Structure 1
Amino acid sequence: MSFEVVLDNRYFLSELVQEISLEESLEEISYRASIRLVVTPDLPGIIPGQEIRISGIPYGGTGMTYLLHPGIVWECSSSNSGTKYLSLTVYDRTIYLAKSEDERLMPSGQTASDRLKLYAKEWGIPVGNLPDTRISLARNIKRTQTLYSMIQEDLKETADKGGELFRPRMTTSGLELIKLGDNKTKWDLEVIEDVTQSRTLEGAVTQVKVLGAQASDEKLAPVLAVVKKDVEKFGTLQKVIQDSKIETIDQAQKAAQKTLIGIQETFSVTAPDINLIRAGDEVRLNGTTLWVTRVTHRLGTPGHMDLELALPGKVRRDYLV
């Protein structure tokens, strides 16, 4: 068997697994597993909150390695159509950051790395490798929102100010920050079962208007910059930006340039499973460098994977908007 499922570090459930998949996207923080089990008399009682881990033989390797650990059973549902099945939804521990809300005042001078350490410490989540994001962040009163949205806000400001694009990821060592596209192994997708290429103007931006701070409710906010690109080619598709951190015309023009984007191009790929690929990783398809925006691994022998891919420029733009 190419995978192993262990509950509470003592119940080995692999022989009861009918289906198992792992899913992750850039829009969410947590790695999610869906597991379908056959219910037998010796199946232990399973309830939300229990710890569970999933291991597998890494692509091109030997021996088991952790694919999702530590995992938390989040949801259980059973069905019976002659044979009884139990379906589990499992998340890594970052789910607590996605589901918990808070309000706080963050002083200026901290980096996104500094703030992530604070969030993780208060929620009892161990920290692994946290590279220095370097960019000094502005003072910020964070009104009631999820911890994950606070983290995303910090990482967006980091990128806005010229820093790298980072994504939080839970590993066996703890919560880490991963630079997008910086995976050591750049997987070449040579064997493809199906590929769909989509091009659309949905989401395109050809004109950006940047507004300054609004002085009163009776007057419109001043226009700091209007930047255009490919209006003649695609028509006017305008986005308005109003950000209190943008104070000068130069800052406004830079923010507008980052937002402009033409035809949106994405790829959907089904292929034999490479179970080490994660959201945010860089892969190559027919010589083109792409970033993984969503991945689903359907574990098995053989396994399969579904990938959503986009050009790095599109991911950067989407990340910043």
Structure 2
Amino acid sequence: MSYKVILQDKYDLSPLVESINLRDSLEQIAYQGTVNLVVTPDMPPIEPGMAIRISGIPYGKKDYVPLLHPAVVWEVSTSNNGVKRMTLTLYDRTVYLDKSEDEYLFPAKQTATQRFKKYAADWELKIAVLPDTEKKLGRSVYRTQSIYASMFADLRETAKAGGKLYHPRMISSGLELYELGSNKDVYILEALTDTTQSRTLEGAATMVKVLATAASETGKEVPSKVLAIEKKDIEKYGQLQAIIQDDEVKSGAAARQLAKSKLRGIQETISLNAPDINTIRAGDTVMLGSMKLIVISISREMGNPGSMSLELGTYDDVKRRFYLE
């Protein structure tokens, strides 16, 4: 197996490894690993909280690079059915942002970039790459919730304001705010097996109304003020209406932009299995034939060559599904 598992920067567990599985998804912040080991008498004690890393040789290269690093042992379980085995559950260190809660009150006109600096400083996470997200956000009051929930609320508001799509990642040099689809190496997926294509009108919207929150007058209920209405493909798919109530929309132009971004027809996702390319992450662009698609989730069984299962979607579908709901 062309992979290394190093505990606490000094113990090489690689000779004891039976299997390694990794999972990455836009639905979670932390890259997750599962390592199955054979337990030997000279094996170092392994406890939750210990530092660990997984390195491997990327597709087409010769040298090892960190794949899951910096990571932490989160769970340890052992079994014994004649041979003693151990299963380690690992996460990269963004898991602390997902498992920790706090309260934040942010003033208006900050960007997600400015807020990420605050999150990272509070949780003592080194920043590797932090682009300017540019869009100024409204005042935000985040009551007790996970740090990641607050982060993602900032990223969704950025997208709703017409900004780019970002997803936090932990890389070996620290926390990265990754722009979806910005990977330099765009792999063409070949030698595919078990390809499934799903197309549905579930969640479609051919008419979108943006409303201001209704304010009662002298105790009487009044209709909400309509800020914008946008329509598309009603003749093709029928009238499927969605309502957006958003007090942060300050202009008619912004309301129309938000309404247009919510219009959606057929949602298409593609699931497939292929030989593993171990550096592909959730949020990366890949090519499937002539289609440029975003990786929504990836599960890999590492080996030589190993295998990966991918869920893919178009950029627009990913934007609507994760950032505009």
The CA distance in 2 between the partners of 1:90 and 1:261, in whole Å, is: 37
Change (3 A) 1:320 1:21: same
Structure 2 counterpart of 1:121, which letter? Answer: A
Change (3 A) 1:85 1:230: same
Structure 2 counterpart of 1:53, which letter? Answer: R
The worse-fitting range, judged by mean Cα deviation, of 83-92 and 280-289 is 83-92
Q: Does 1:290 align with 2:293?
A: yes
Structure 1 counterpart of 2:289, which letter? Answer: N
Change (3 A) 1:218 1:297: farther
Once the two structures are superposed, the pairs formed by residues 171-320 of structure 1 within 5 Å of their partners are 171-216=171-216, 219=221, 220-318=223-321, 319-320=323-324
**Residues 267-302 of structure 1, C-alpha deviation per residue, up to 9 Å, x if partnerless?**
111111100101111010011110101011211112
State TM-score, norm by structure 1.
Answer: 0.95
The answer to whether the 8 Å contact 2:187/2:287 transfers is yes
Once the two structures are TM-superposed, the CA of residue 253 in structure 1 deviates from its matched residue by: 2.1
Structure 2 counterpart of 1:312, which letter? Answer: Y
Structure 2 counterpart of 1:138, which letter? Answer: G
**Residues 19-70 of structure 1, C-alpha deviation per residue, up to 9 Å, x if partnerless?**
1111111111111101111122222221111110000011110121100111
| 3-state SS, counterpart of residue 128 of structure 1 | strand
The CA distance in 2 between the partners of 1:74 and 1:237, in whole Å, is: 44
Q: Which runs of 5+ in 2 are unaligned?
A: none
**Residues 62-98 of structure 1, C-alpha deviation per residue, up to 9 Å, x if partnerless?**
1211001110011112223332221111001100111
The worse-fitting range, judged by mean Cα deviation, of 23-32 and 210-219 is 210-219
State TM-score, norm by structure 2.
Answer: 0.94
The worse-fitting range, judged by mean Cα deviation, of 236-245 and 209-218 is 209-218
Structure 2 counterpart of 1:283, which letter? Answer: V
The answer to whether the 8 Å contact 2:287/2:293 transfers is yes
The answer to whether the 8 Å contact 1:212/1:247 transfers is no
| 3-state SS, counterpart of residue 117 of structure 1 | helix
The CA distance in 2 between the partners of 1:124 and 1:247, in whole Å, is: 35
**Residues 112-167 of structure 1, C-alpha deviation per residue, up to 9 Å, x if partnerless?**
11110110111011111111112222222222211111111111121222221111
Once the two structures are TM-superposed, the CA of residue 218 in structure 1 deviates from its matched residue by: 5.2
Once the two structures are TM-superposed, the CA of residue 313 in structure 1 deviates from its matched residue by: 1.2
| 3-state SS, counterpart of residue 128 of structure 2 | coil
Q: Give the aligned partner of residue 83 of structure 1.
A: 83
Structure 1 counterpart of 2:127, which letter? Answer: V
Structure 1 counterpart of 2:207, which letter? Answer: Q
Q: Give the aligned partner of residue 157 of structure 1.
A: 157
| 3-state SS, counterpart of residue 115 of structure 2 | helix
Q: Does 1:18 align with 2:5?
A: no
Identity of aligned residues (%): 52
Q: Which runs of 5+ in 1 are unaligned?
A: none
Q: Does 1:140 align with 2:143?
A: no
The CA distance in 2 between the partners of 1:163 and 1:115, in whole Å, is: 16
The CA distance in 1 between the partners of 2:315 and 2:250, in whole Å, is: 28
The answer to whether the 8 Å contact 1:193/1:272 transfers is no
**Residues 240-276 of structure 1, C-alpha deviation per residue, up to 9 Å, x if partnerless?**
2111102443322221110111111111111111001
The CA distance in 1 between the partners of 2:136 and 2:228, in whole Å, is: 25
Q: Give the aligned partner of residue 97 of structure 2.
A: 97
The CA distance in 2 between the partners of 1:246 and 1:103, in whole Å, is: 24
The worse-fitting range, judged by mean Cα deviation, of 135-144 and 89-98 is 135-144
After superposition, the CA RMSD in angstroms is: 1.5
Once the two structures are TM-superposed, the CA of residue 185 in structure 1 deviates from its matched residue by: 0.8
The answer to whether the 8 Å contact 1:126/1:175 transfers is yes
The worse-fitting range, judged by mean Cα deviation, of 57-66 and 105-114 is 105-114
The worse-fitting range, judged by mean Cα deviation, of 186-195 and 248-257 is 248-257
The CA distance in 2 between the partners of 1:234 and 1:245, in whole Å, is: 30
Structure 1 stretches of 4+ moved >4 Å: none
Q: What is the aligned length? A: 321
The CA distance in 1 between the partners of 2:236 and 2:162, in whole Å, is: 29
The worse-fitting range, judged by mean Cα deviation, of 211-220 and 184-193 is 211-220
The CA distance in 2 between the partners of 1:255 and 1:131, in whole Å, is: 23
| 3-state SS, counterpart of residue 4 of structure 1 | strand
